[in-house]
Chain A
Amino acid sequence: MLAGERIVDRTQQSGMPKLSVDGVSMAFGDHTVFKGIDLDVQAGEFLCLIGSSGCGKTTLLNLIAGFMPPTEGEIKVSGRVVHGPGPDRAMVFQDDAVFPWYTVLQNIEYGLKIRKLPKDERRTQARELTELVGLGGREDYYPAQLSGGMRKRVDVARALSVQPEVLLMDEPFAALDAITKARMQEEFLRMWENRETTVVFVTHDIEEALFLGDRLILMGENSIVRETKVPFERPRTEEVRTSPELQGMRREVIEYNRSVTRDGETGT
């Protein structure tokens, strides 16, 4: 399918949402992280999640991934209630999660190996992904021999390789320099446009959120405080990033966030 055809509003498709978060609350002991979160994500939608540090973004992703049950409420993927982790919801972690005992290539082909794909097939796919995240030539490096940003890219490639229905990404590009970051964002968009994966993307970078996402969710103290639709057409180009519309929206989100949070920062 051509990327250019995808100007449908994916945030408002009829039918069952790909991912639905239903009245979910989470507390660790007597510390409530959030309460009564409701969120529907349509198939193929790119949802960005922002909010100040410690507001519970990672916790929400962990719940969707199924690492722990919510204290209240229910999470469904394609109508099935989430009871534990599975390859339909791959995750790019905020912390270092690349296996230190595997090389770059072994890490990237991990999910394919688990799925018992024949060796040459998974090698081909893994090599493609390695190129895609710009790590060609480093296939045999161990993670300890890579930079922090390179490790993050390995993690991204590993999550992509399993072709999940929902891809959960926790600040995947935060550790990258501006140029690599922009390149990764664009490459990632190209790929996503071709694959129709549903993405939940956590970031502190509002510009990144507006450039990548279809919808932007702002999390406040303990719930969702604002939802913004991102109107830019796809495929998105460099011009979108620097467009006055995007910059205007960015300012607006920051202003709004300032008005609802005490310190007025999103943690960036």
Chain B
Amino acid sequence: MTAMDNRTGKSSASPRPVRHQIVRANADGVAARIRRWILVLSVPLAFFALWYAVAEAGIVGRIFIPHPETILERVTLLWRELLVAVWVSIQMVAMGAFIGSVAGIFIGLLFGFSRLARELFELTLDTIRPVPIFALIPLFVLWFGIGLMPQVALVALGVFLILSFTTIEAVRNVPRIFVRAALTCGASRIDVYRTVVLPSIVPEILLGVRFGLIAAWGLDVAAEFSSSSEGLGYFMIVRGQYLDTAGIVLSVLLFCGCAIIVDRALRYIGRKCMPWNPRVTQQDFITELLGGRG
């Protein structure tokens, strides 16, 4: 009886169920979509407006906070150079992140699979993980010279350390019952990895790759600062030497742009990789309560 009242909202005694409010806020449709985009864009637009206002008012010196229009000028002036720089950096990051991810996931899986591998390498890896990789830049430059190699190697190492660690932790978290089920169906150790471990660690791996990429952009810039004559990081250093704040801010914005595109792409890939996961498939108020879909 009470349940009926709740559903029809006629009960005077019980408060309005939460569910209604959330479902309505979540409803699809043009109005809801417009509302969503207004909300999504409002904060970046507010930032921009504030920036523009501060720059217009001239309270702070141009050298500290460049005018947005100056930045636009830089774009029209330097777009060829910028395009090349961005392309170079993307290549570095992509190559380094790819090599590092593949190697890291492989080592993580190997650690899960083989006690011998753990006994041989785990202590070593755990020991080098906290070493600040930035501190290795001089060494890498020494070993690999100026150019692309030290950057790719540095990015790869950073991403590798993150991914190997994430993967082994994810493997340890695989629910026992699925492994049991696979084994009673005749699965070999390799089969268990292929059919149970890999699908169950996808969410954690994606998280690891996203962390890895955050580190990758940072490492790439740091490496370009000291060992490169191309790339966005190098462009930034050069602009800095000219005291061209607009150029620096522009580089930062470009990095942000690259990072957000890559991150959203990874989220998309994640959704495609886990069509079975309720966090992707279910659009209900529980999903809404737990961070939304994706």
Contacts and interface: CB of A to CB of B under 8 A. Distances in A.
B50 interface: no
**A: interface residue count bin:** 20 to 34
A99 B181 contact: yes
Given A97-B178, A114-B191, A102 B184 contact: no
A115 B274 CA distance: 25
A164 B178 CA distance: 18
A86 B187 CA distance: 8
Q: Which secondary structure dominates chain A's binding surface?
A: loop
B181 A97 contact: yes
Nearest to A62: B180
B185 to A, nearest CB: 4
B178 A99 contact: yes
Contacts of A159: 184-185
Interface in B241-277: 274-277
Contacts of B275: 142
A97 B180 contact: yes
Contacts, number: 78
B278 interface: yes
A102 B195 CA distance: 9
A95 B181 CA distance: 11
Interface in A169-205: none
Contacts of B91: none
B184 A85 contact: yes
A91 B186 contact: no
A91 B180 CA distance: 9
A162 interface: yes
Contacts of A102: 276
Interface string B181-197: 11111111001000110
Interface in A55-97: 65, 67, 84-87, 89-91, 93, 95-97
Contacts of A142: 275-276, 281
Interface string B159-197: 000000000000000000110111111111001000110
Nearest to B273: A101
Contacts of A85: 180, 183-184
A34 interface: no
Interface of A: 65, 67, 84-87, 89-91, 93, 95-103, 110-111, 114-115, 142-145, 155, 158-159, 161-162, 164
